[in-house]
Amino acid sequence: MKKLALAVFFTLASTISVMAQGVTHYVAIHVDQNDPKVMNLALNNAQNITKYYESKGDTVVIEMVTYGPGLNMLIEGKSPVADRIAVMSLEMENLSFAACANTMSKMEAKTGKKIPIIQEATIVPSGVVTLIELQEKGYAYVKP
């Protein structure tokens, strides 16, 4: 009986320990509009999600994926939210930005110029495919 009681005690203790450590949440935020209001809403979502989960002792990983007209959010010299992204990137290590290479190629073909992306962004082969893959990995999907 003592062995059973000890086993139950250690099982409960380890369960409580894991629960006290918090949970990591994964979120993909999708931006496909060249609209400063939508871009700011997406950034607000990232801040609010982070604040909420951190207040509960949890962590969150957020990937903001841009393609189509939304890629303008990450174009150097054109982004209406570049300054905000720069500040947020310094303050929020859990936030990353993905720029669609397919969209970049189409923009470059149309303009005949290289499309410069802000330093906070990473270029991914396809924004749509990135969103699919993130969801397949269990990321929650948010479209502001």
Does residue 18 lie in a domain region? no
Does residue 1 lie in a domain region? no
How many domains does the chain divide into?
1
pLDDT at 106: 97
Does residue 50 lie in a domain region? yes
In terms of residue numbers, what domain contains 73?
A: 23-142
Q: What is the CATH number of the domain that holds 52?
A: 3.40.1260.10
pLDDT at 95: 98
Taking each helix axis as running N to C, give the angle between helix 36-55 and helix 82-91, from 0 to 180 degrees, rounded to the nearest 10.
10
Start-to-end Cα distance in the chain:
56
pLDDT at 47: 98
Does residue 39 lie in a domain region? yes
Does residue 65 lie in a domain region? yes
pTM for the full predicted model: 0.84
Does residue 29 lie in a domain region? yes
pLDDT at 3: 53
Does residue 17 lie in a domain region? no
pLDDT at 32: 98
Average pLDDT for consecutive 10-residue bins of the chain (144 residues)? 49 50 95 98 98 97 98 98 98 97 97 97 98 98 97
Alpha-carbon dihedral 42, 38, 139, 59, rounded to 10 degrees: 10
Does residue 77 lie in a domain region? yes
Sign (positive or negative) of CA dihedral 132, 102, 143, 41: positive
pLDDT at 21: 73
